[in-house]
Amino acid sequence: MQLGRLHSSAEKRQDACPFSVVDLTDWRRVVKVLKLTAQGLPQSWVTLEQAALHYAAEDVRWEAGAEIACFRGGHNAVTGKQSVIHINSIIGTKGMPNINPHELLPGLTNGKLFTRDHCVCAYCGRQFHEGDLTREHILPASAGGQNTWMNLVTACRSCNHRKGARTPEQARMPLLYTPYTPTLWEDFILRNRRILADQMEFLVAHVPRGSRWRS
């Protein structure tokens, strides 16, 4: 299927746009649609074009959130009507994954780690830009510490250097918060830096009650 011109909701209602995006090329690149199974389990973040293909293939079983864009295609040779695909921010598609997504261990990257910890150093408690942060092993790598969610926290460069190859107890630098392994829903929050308000509301409603994302 060849997609036609994209019309964003920002073009129709500029005050409804969650970003200050005027260029539709930027809107197309920045905005992602939250794709779930028909049963409501998150599958992936997809582009507007990928979402449009799901609509065109009639794979979308249900939708939620606001309309964020529409694609206008060609005209029907018989009726003369132009094809239009309206895209919502959250879609449920048919089919079931071959694996249980709840059994998957979330992939670990520095960006996701820093987002999990809200860019706050676990030792001094200050918030930093990502470029000033480091991945810090609670049990040092030299002592067998692994690259796991439960052994890693966010630390500023100064605190990381000060702690060195010691445990927090040895360095007398107690942790100000405890690490945790993100749930499936929390992992989807960590994956996307440009989540729309209705998508965030939907995801947060499914995280554990004690999650930092509920605060």
pLDDT band at 9, cuts 50/70/90?
very low
Name, in order, each residue with C-beta under 8 angstroms of 187's C-beta and a sequence gap of 6 or more. Answer: 106, 107, 112
pLDDT in tens, 146-186: 999 999 999 999 999 999 999 999 999 999 999 999 999 99
pLDDT of residue 2: 43
pLDDT in tens, 105-128: 899 999 999 999 999 999 999 999
Name the pTM for this structure.
0.79
Would you say 88 and 68 are in contact if contact means Cβ atoms under 8 Å apart? yes
| Domains of the chain as residue ranges with CATH | 5-100+191-204 (no CATH), 110-171 (1.10.30.50)
Question: What average pLDDT does the segment 200-214 reach?
Answer: 93
Which of residues 33 and 3 earns the better pLDDT score?
33
Report how far residue 55's alpha carbon sits from residue 83's, in angstroms, rounded to the nearest whole number.
12
